[in-house]
């Protein structure tokens, strides 16, 4: 396998940054380029997915032919088939002439289908036929035509979830995902953020004929901590605003704070999305404290149970406080009575005629059970929220919930979370 000169690719296509995740994406794009294999580029909106489609086209044998980028989400559902595959005269109202579609006009070149997840199901079936056989039919025609087009697709949504919901064809997903490339969000690229800031500052200084803005040390740290939900697009707009509106060329944290939404200023793990109200966040935090407390109490119960079983504590306490063993009601306890271990069963069915009084869990109030069930419901709800937030990546969801990944996996099985 030929080596990839990542530095020369960055210089050629104007890519700024040294993030390992970014370098991996560039390397995969360069290795995929000479082939005609379909590529699926995934990543958040504004992370630069279209730049990778251009790398693939320009480093391929199709570089002298046409390249076109199409936003599938921007074309109305009623006209997307005509745009992609063309139509015949009279095929629908307003079709006064026949028209070639992109798959016909870009024959021999590359089509970049951005936001592929927004493509209607009917169009997906047509696209699958092109990918499988190179065949397409104009709208309103019965004539099969051939095309030789390479398809590079991109999406900012989880296509596997779309497949499960029935909004995206499973066969098309696996056909597109021949070579997957993940473009990392800006917040996962570390010091690349500061490099991009300086690059944009220099560009806008030249455009507006002003001195480039620069960040103070505290402002640089604030930029590094910011999540940038809009990624590179948002950073570029931020630098342009500052370049135009600020008279002082050195920007400190106080000035920078005026341009950054306060609820997005940190990349620390959060239990909830920042669009939720502050009161709701506090309520969820309270639930988590209660869950932790419940876990600690359970561990104390088990510790007490072991102590009674081993004779270190008097088992008579069970007669007065049966609720201590509510969660281990099927296990007998062995206190020491007159030097001889005697079992105390925690449910009346297990009495078996023993002469020691049986601790009954039925005395526990229904209100306590209802509260426990409500906590379990809230715990399940928080786990689902965390999984959705991190696109079903258990590692990050567990970090967000401040529990181990193993515990999260056990909870997912316990609550039967799909």
Contact 162, 117 (CB under 8 A): yes
User: For residue 98, with 0-12 CB atoms within 10 Å meaning exposed, 13-18 middle and 19 or more buried, which class applies?
Assistant: middle
| The two three-digit tokens of residue 284, written as one number | 């969820």
Q: Which domains does the chain have, with CATH numbers?
A: 6-184 (3.40.50.300), 187-264 (1.10.8.60), 278-414 (no CATH)
| The two three-digit tokens of residue 133, written as one number | 């056989």
Mean pLDDT by 10 residues, the chain (418 residues): 81 94 95 94 93 96 95 90 90 83 94 95 94 92 93 94 94 94 95 95 94 94 93 94 91 91 53 41 62 71 67 56 48 45 45 42 42 69 87 84 83 83
User: For residue 93, with 0-12 CB atoms within 10 Å meaning exposed, 13-18 middle and 19 or more buried, which class applies?
Assistant: exposed
Q: Which residues of 345-355 are buried (b: 16+ CB within 10 A; e: fewer)?
A: bbbeeeeeeee
Q: What is the pTM of this model?
A: 0.62
Closest by CA to 116, choosing from 171, 172, 180, is: 172
Contact 194, 228 (CB under 8 A): no
The pLDDT value recorded for residue 152 is 96
Cβ-based neighbours of 355, under 8 Å, separated by 6 or more: none
Tokens 């379909």 correspond to: 38
Q: What is the pLDDT of residues 53-109, one digit of tens each?
A: 999 999 999 999 999 999 999 998 888 999 999 998 887 877 788 889 999 999 999
The pLDDT value recorded for residue 220 is 94
| The two three-digit tokens of residue 363, written as one number | 């005395």
Contact 272, 282 (CB under 8 A): no
Q: What distances in angstroms separate CA 293 from CA 289, 367, 408, one per listed residue?
A: 6, 18, 17
Q: Strand (E) positions, 296-393?
A: 336-337, 340-341
Closest by CA to 292, choosing from 414, 406, 402, is: 402
């Amino acid at each position: 396998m030929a080596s990839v000169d990542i530095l020369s690719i960055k210089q050629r296509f104007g890519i700024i940054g040294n993030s390992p995740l970014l370098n991996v994406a560039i390397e995969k794009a360069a290795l995929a380029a000479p082939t005609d294999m379909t590529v699926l580029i995934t990543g958040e909106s504004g992370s630069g997915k279209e730049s990778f489609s251009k790398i693939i086209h320009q480093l391929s044998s199709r570089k002298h032919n046409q390249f076109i980028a199409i936003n599938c989400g921007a074309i109305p559902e009623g006209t997307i088939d005509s745009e992609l595959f063309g139509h015949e005269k009279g095929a629908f109202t307003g079709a006064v002439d026949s028209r070639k579609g992109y798959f016909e006009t870009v024959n021999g070149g590359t089509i970049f289908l951005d936001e592929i997840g927004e493509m209607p199901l009917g169009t997906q079936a047509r696209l699958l036929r092109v990918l499988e056989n190179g065949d397409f039919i104009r709208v309103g025609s019965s004539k099969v035509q051939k095309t030789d087009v390479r398809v590079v697709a991109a999406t900012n949504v989880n296509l596997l979830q779309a497949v499960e919901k029935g909004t995206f064809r499973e066969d098309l997903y696996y056909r597109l995902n021949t070579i997957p490339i993940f473009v990392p969000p800006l917040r996962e690229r570390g010091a690349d953020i500061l490099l991009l800031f300086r690059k944009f500052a220099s560009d806008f200084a030249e455009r507006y004929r002003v001195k480039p803005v620069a960040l103070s040390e505290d402002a640089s740290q604030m930029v590094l901590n910011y999540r940038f939900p809009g990624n590179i697009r948002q950073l570029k707009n931020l630098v342009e605003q500052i370049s135009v509106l600020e008279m002082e060329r050195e920007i400190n944290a106080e000035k920078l704070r005026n341009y950054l939404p306060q609820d997005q200023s940190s990349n620390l793990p959060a239990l909830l999305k920042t669009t939720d109200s502050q009161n709701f966040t506090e309520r969820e935090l309270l639930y988590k404290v209660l869950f932790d407390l419940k876990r600690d109490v359970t561990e104390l119960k088990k510790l007490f149970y072991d102590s009674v079983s081993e004779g270190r504590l008097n088992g008579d306490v069970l007669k007065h406080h049966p609720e201590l063993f509510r969660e281990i009601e099927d296990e007998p306890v062995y206190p020491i009575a007159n030097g001889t271990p005697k079992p105390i069963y925690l449910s009346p069915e297990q009495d078996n005629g023993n002469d020691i009084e049986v601790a009954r869990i039925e005395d526990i109030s229904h209100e306590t059970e209802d509260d426990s069930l409500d906590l379990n419901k809230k715990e399940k709800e928080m786990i689902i929220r965390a999984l959705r937030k991190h696109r079903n990546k258990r590692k990050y969801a567990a970090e967000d919930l401040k529990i181990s990944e193993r515990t999260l996996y056990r909870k997912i099985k316990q609550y039967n979370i799909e």
